[in-house]
Amino acid sequence: MASCGPGDKLLLPRTVHRSVISGLILSGARPIFLLPEVCGRTGLVGSVTPAAIAQAFQAHPDLKAVLIVSPTYEGICAETGAIAALCHAQGIPLLVDEAHGPHFGFHPDLPASALSQGATVSVQSTHKVLSGLTQSAMLHLRPWDPRSGECLIDPGRVAQALQLVQSSSPSYLLLAALDAARSQMATQGHALMTQTLALANQARDRLRQIPGLRVFELPQPQPGFAQLDPTRLTVDVSALGLTGFEADEILNENYGVIAELPSLWHLTFIISLGNNAVDIEQLVTGFAAMAERACDKTFHATCQETFENQFDPKFGLWREIAIGAELGLSPREAYFSAAETIALPDGIGQISAETVCPYPPGIPVLLPGERIGSGAIAYLRKIQAAGGIISGASDPSLETLRVIR
């Protein structure tokens, strides 16, 4: 809202969190979506590349701002420095959703923070990874391009926008929690991150040795996969004949291990400053026991059928979802248009009036203003059948949808 007004073009990946779509509805900005890079081996989604952004600048010389997600939920980082340089050359701000990166900048073995790489604005969910209370977050601002001295974003406008979206009764619990988290990281951040990295590296090494598990690694930077936050562990359980949702349930119920993000093939864990050696032991023991049990034929047979119904991880899910999903209206126009409820088969090809996403990770598969593609519906149904949680649908059974009349 501080960088784009109604009709202004914002360049961003299609795989943003639903909070970004809320921002588009509030501001009226027109999204120009790019598809991020997808890892062909694991199906994991990375970032948009500098090359794709440079190409979009040619096609849309009137862009007002660029938004990227770095790191992703799985800890995959963008080439933020190169993207920031492109934006600065264009004289437009780079906004970074750094919800999962508030610990960056506190240890040299962690990726560099977005602001230190030239981002204009970054938002960090202090509550997710550091010790802030739930809902506490920070918006970091670099209003000036240090080279040109140009003001890329007006701090006064940011303050005004905050007044529109925040309560006029600030929570001193949340403010104190932010201050305590800041103080903790300023005084002990390096030591805490040294310990966290050691635990994460130990967990990664031990999980790697369990037959049937594949732990996501990034030995070399790839386009859209510049760096991996080592404190995120993404484990592919598909070779065990399990979906991520099934593995999550087994680990949770039998071994007291809670994944941050279960998906069709993977489980992602956050190792944070709140973890200790006992947690890592429990994680590894749980995985080892589950993998051993999965090798038992009977157990394997019960899970195999569900698994075979899943997508092939190499197909590039978002490409499939995006097929036919052109924007009919801006998210704001769609949000304020008259809508109706319609049975699903008739809804394909109509313009969605709702934001529907598997949660976590909260990346909308349907969003207001976008045409509903059959790939999107098939994907939501798979998630639902596999035991995932779908949020935002007016009809949780997905028999009907709200579409623009």
Rule CB under 6 A: which residues touch ligand PLP? 17, 19, 69, 73, 97, 99, 125, 137, 361-362
Distance in Å, CB of 89 to ligand PLP, minimum: 26
Q: CB 405 → ligand PLP: shortest distance, Å?
A: 31
* Least Cβ distance, residue 26 to ligand PLP (angstroms): 14
> How many other CB atoms sit within 10 Å of the CB of residue 399?
11
80 burial type by CB count under 10 A (0-12 exposed, 13-18 middle, 19+ buried): buried
> Least distance to ligand PLP from the beta carbon of 280, Å?
24
* Minimum distance from residue 227 beta carbon to ligand PLP (Å): 16
Q: Which is nearer to ligand PLP, 270 or 334 (CB)?
A: 270
Q: How far is the CB of 74 from ligand PLP (least distance, A)?
A: 10
- Shortest distance, position 401 Cβ to ligand PLP, whole Å: 24
Q: Which two tokens stand for residue 135?
A: 């809902």
Task: Identify whether the C-beta of residue 192 lies closer than 8 Å to the C-beta of residue 184.
Answer: yes
Residue 72 or residue 350: which is nearer to ligand PLP going by CB? 72
The CA distance from 341 to 339, in Å, is 7
Nearest partner of 8 among 331, 306, 360, judged by Cα: 331
Beta carbon of residue 28, minimum distance to ligand PLP (angstroms, whole number)? 20
Nearer Cβ to ligand PLP, position 313 or 362?
362
Q: What are φ and ψ of residue 64, in 5° steps?
A: -95, -25
Instruction: Please name the amino acid found at residue 298.
Output: T
328 contacts 353 by C-beta, under 8 angstroms = no
C-beta separation of 42 from 72 below 8 A: no
Residue 17 or residue 107: which is nearer to ligand PLP going by CB?
Answer: 17
Closest to ligand PLP by CB, 69 vs 329, is 69
Counting runs of H as helices and runs of E as strands, what totals does the chain give?
13, 16
In the complex, minimum distance from the CB of residue 19 to ligand PLP, in angstroms, rounded to a whole number? 5
Q: What is the DSSP letter of 144?
A: B
Min separation Cβ 372 and ligand PLP, Å: 23
Query: Tokens 């990726």 — which residue?
Result: 111
Length in residues, the chain: 405
Q: Are 68 and 47 in contact (CB under 8 A)?
A: yes
Q: Using the structure block, give the residue that is written with the tokens 């484990």.
A: 235
Q: How far is the CB of 360 from ligand PLP (least distance, A)?
A: 6
* Range list of H helices, 230-316: 244-255, 277-295, 297-308
Residues 195, 70, 123, 234, Cα dihedral to 10°: -50
If the CB atoms of residues 170 and 219 are measured against ligand PLP, the closer one turns out to be 170
Rank residues 177 and 290 by Cβ distance to ligand PLP and give the closer one.
177
User: Between residues 141 and 210, which has the closer beta carbon with respect to ligand PLP?
Assistant: 141
Torsion, Cα 47 210 299 235, to 10 degrees, reads -10
Say if CB 9 and CB 29 are below 8 A apart: yes
Cβ proximity to ligand PLP: between 132 and 328 the closer is 132
User: Between 115 and 294, whose beta carbon lies closer to ligand PLP?
Assistant: 115
Which candidate, 23, 19, 33, places its Cα nearest to that of 3? 23
Q: Could you tell me where the beta strands, DSSP code E, fall in 352-399? A: 357-358, 390-391
Q: How far apart are the first and last CA of the chain?
A: 28
Burial class of residue 116 in the structure, from the number of CB atoms within 10 Å of its CB (0-12 exposed, 13-18 middle, 19+ buried): middle
58/167 with CB nearer ligand PLP? 167
